[in-house]
Amino acid sequence: AQSVTQLDSQVPVFEEAPVELRCNYSSSVSVYLFWYVQYPNQGLQLLLKYLSGSTLVKGINGFEAEFNKSQTSFHLRKPSVHISDTAEYFCAVSSSSNTGKLIFGQGTTLQVKP
């Protein structure tokens, strides 16, 4: 079975500060990893994904994430956040052995303050 843990339910940060949203996963098979973002009153949108290859992946809006297999982590980072980054962020995992169904973490609310 697979599971995802997002270690912080809320992350308050000031504008232009760096941020890291933490994600750990558990799986007995190889995984694909995703970060989705949900802006207020909008649907989920893919930020970035790790499928294979380079462990540092870059996504939209200046976000990046690093896959660490030994620590089973996939933390999301941005060097300088904007007010518009305020949203709910979800880490998710799937595998090549299933149908593509995503297992999601509980979500992290990023609150960017002026």
Partner 1 sequence: GAGVSQSPSNKVTEKGKDVELRCDPISGHTALYWYRQRLGQGLEFLIYFQGNSAPDKSGLPSDRFSAERTGESVSTLTIQRTQQEDSAVYLCASSPVGQGLAEQFFGPGTRLTVL
In the complex, the residues that contact partner 1 under the rule CB under 8 A are 4, 6, 31-32, 34, 36, 42-46, 49, 51, 90, 92, 94-107
Nearer to partner 1, 59 or 86 (CB): 59
Q: What's 83's DSSP letter?
A: G
Phi-psi category of residue 61: left, alpha or beta, with phi > 0 → left and psi -120 to 50 → alpha: left
CB of 58 to partner 1, least distance (A): 16
The residue (of 42 and 70) whose beta carbon lies closer to partner 1 is 42
* Least distance CB 9 / partner 1 (angstroms): 8
- Residue 86 or 95 with smaller CB distance to partner 1: 95
Burial class (CB in 10 A: 0-12, 13-18, 19+), 58: exposed
Tabulate helix, strand, coil % of the chain (nearest 5): 5, 55, 40
